[in-house]
A and B are shown apart, each in its own frame.
Chain A
Amino acid sequence: MSATALIMMIVAMVVIWGGLGLAVVNLVRATPSSPSPIDEPGDL
């Protein structure tokens, strides 16, 4: 595998998968998940 292709693959992984990691960290830090006040049973 050429160095250019390898670098492009790593860059894509770092940007996209790293972006996902950062987005998850941001979400968890900003607002911990809590149940919705609108509870299920309805929906009938």
Chain B
Amino acid sequence: MSTQSPASQPPSGATQADIEKKRGSFSSRNVFIFAAIGSAVGLGNIWRFPKEAFDNGGGAFMVPYIIALLTAGIPFLLLDYVMGHRTRGSAPLAFARTHGKTEWLGWWQVGICFVIAVYYAAILAWSLRYTIFSFGKDWGDDPGTFFGGDFLHASDPAKGVSTDFVAGLLIPLVLVWVAVLVIMALGVQKGVGATSVIFIPILVLAFLVLVVRALFLPGAVDGLEALFTPDWGALSDTGVWAAAYAQIFFSLSIGFGIMITYSSYVGRKVDLTGSGLVVGFANSSFELLCGIGVFSALGFMAQAQGLQISEVAAGGPGLAFVAFPTIINEAPAGVLIGILFFASLILAGITSLVSILEVVISAIRDKFDMSRIGATLAVLVPATVISVFFFSTTSALHVLDIVDNFINKFGILFVAVVSMVVLVWIVRALPDFVDHLEGSGSIRIRGWWPALVAVITPLALAFVLVSDFIDTLETKYGLPDTDYPDWMVNTFGWGLVAAVIVIGVLASLVKWRPDTNLSIPAIPEEENQ
């Protein structure tokens, strides 16, 4: 296959500068970096990393984790950056401009983003309500029962999807969507960029206060000891290495269009490699801070209840909505801990949700030449309706659990591996990517970077993907905790994963407008001086 089209001017009368102004852009490199950090830093940093580290060798986990950051995370981030920055387009347009027959990969990524946005908003809505609950510790003495019963009104999973709406889920969910609608309608700089520039410093500050408070709780040292005591034997376990690569991959927002879209909005003279290093390390820095804060709090909880750390260690919604309320009940100044923790979840989550939706909006605008407001409504109205229908009912938790598991493992991870293999080994775009990164970066990447993205990263991610696939086939998803009906797993799990691929292929068959430039855009004169 030939690699690419030569740089060219758009076929229409509009100049490339006009087109890029119309698309919108970040006003500076720093806004781009804040937006990328805002996307990467999300719920996974707060509730996934600490448990993953604890379960996979404790302090020893840091070794594969840092190696994974350097050999897969940052290299993949740079691959996304160069795709968007070189082609100046959303994910589908970036793939189409790299090679015409790869556009479907971009739409596959867009579909995944739409699905994630629909349920991600629900978690933000829960966090919003729990921030308010924190003031009065409204969950009472048994936060576990409160979460599943009084709050979610969770139905029996065996009964499938429910249409019984819960007002306590519906109202905050609608509020989240309205807030996101306003942000997205404001545009790339004033909406997407400004949200991260304002929220990320507040998030870091809030979490720092939380960590300092947690460190002074009785038992905090025991929690840190549990988190950081190394089990060196774990390093010989391939599962631990797979967990480290998976954590880095899922945490950095790579491989599903976000970083492609964001890098298409930044000026041509930006230092892509230098920016990538900052974003990669900033994400891990916050993740480490989360580990320290969460395990200090869990150490306190274990001591207060006379339990082992392993008995209270939790991740995901169990950590946020059950373990933390328990900590807040028993800790001195628990209300402060609660407000800081749930506000952090909202801030981290909203910047990530905005980045996920921008992938979809940007793609729709590029393909159909829609206005910002028009594209925002075209994406957010159906997303809100679907989100409200599935995630403000009594079966919200069950549907969310299945969709989240499958779309992450067999959506994001699958498209990442496939697109990497296609770009590197079939389209053979790497030499052009290397030239572009060398031309715009402060760090020399020729030699080591191609080796990593051509061999090490796809092999590592493919190993994780295959392991997850075999594991899912061998065990019935949901067991032993929840016994979902087969049709539910097949519909919201495998079915959704397959549907996103089919929709991606179909969307790529829709013709571009005749005036769309499908070649690598020429550099506008004012930027070339």
Residues of A participating in the B interface, judged by any CB pair closer than 8 Å: 1-2, 4-6, 8-9, 11-13, 15-17, 19-20, 23-24, 26-27, 29-31, 33-44
Contacts and interface: CB of A to CB of B under 8 A. Distances in A.
Q: Quick one: which of A16, A19, A34 has the most chain B CB within 10 A?
A: A16
Contacts of B459: none
Contact of B23 (A6, A9, A17, A42): A42
A26 B443 CA distance: 9
Contact of A16 (B30, B66, B188, B266): B66
Secondary structure type dominating chain A contacts: helix
Contact of A31 (B26, B187, B442): B442
Given A8-B59, A37-B527, A31 B274 contact: yes
A15 B282 CA distance: 12
Interface stretch (B150-158, B222-230, B345-353, B377-385): B222-230
B17 A13 contact: no
B329 interface: no
Contacts of B24: 40, 42-43
21 contacts: A4-B230, A5-B227, A6-B228, A8-B228, A8-B230, A9-B228, A13-B288, A17-B285, A20-B281, A23-B281, A33-B30, A37-B524, A39-B21, A40-B24, A40-B25, A43-B22, A43-B23, A43-B25, A43-B187, A43-B190, A44-B372
A40 B527 contact: no
Nearest to B88: A38
Given A5-B58, A38-B20, A42-B20, 7 more contacts: A2-B225, A5-B227, A26-B274, A26-B277, A36-B26, A36-B27, A43-B190
Contacts of B21: 38-39, 41-43
Contacts of A17: 285, 288
A33 B270 CA distance: 8
Contacts of A11: 62
A33 B60 CA distance: 37
B468 interface: no
Q: Which of B187, B188, B285 has the most CB of A within 10 A?
A: B285
5 interchain residue pairs of minimum CB distance: A8-B59, A43-B24, A30-B442, A36-B267, A42-B21
Nearest to A38: B25
B370 to A, nearest CB: 11
B30 A43 contact: no
A15 B526 contact: no
Nearest to B371: A44
A40 B274 contact: no
Contacts of A41: 21
Contacts of B30: 33
B269 interface: yes
A4 B282 CA distance: 25
Per DSSP, chain B at the interface is: helix
B189 interface: yes
A1 B221 contact: yes
B298 to A, nearest CB: 15
Given A38-B20, A42-B23, A16 B271 contact: no
A43 B274 contact: no
A29 B22 CA distance: 32
Given A23-B278, A42-B24, A2 B267 contact: no
A27 B277 contact: yes
Given A23-B274, A31-B269, A43-B187, A9 B281 contact: no
Interface centre among B26, B59, B227 (most CB of A within 10 A): B59
A3 B65 CA distance: 21
B107 to A, nearest CB: 23
Contact of B229 (A8, A15, A34, A40): A8
B28 A5 contact: no
B378 to A, nearest CB: 15
B129 interface: no
B29 A34 contact: yes
Contact of B267 (A1, A30, A38): A38
A1 B221 CA distance: 6
A34 B187 CA distance: 20
Interface string B224-243: 11011110000000000000
B131 interface: no
A35 B55 CA distance: 44
Given A36-B25, A42-B24, A30 B274 contact: yes
B22 A42 contact: yes
A20 B360 CA distance: 30
B275 interface: yes
A36 B20 CA distance: 11
A29 to B, nearest CB: 8
Interface string B372-404: 110000000000000000000000000000000
Contacts of B271: 27, 30-31
A4 B267 CA distance: 46
Contact of A40 (B187, B269, B270): B187
Interface in B4-60: 17, 20-30, 58-60
Nearest to B279: A23
B284 interface: yes
Interface in B259-278: 266-267, 269-271, 274-275, 277-278
Q: Which of B66, B228, B230, B527 has the most CB of A within 10 A?
A: B228
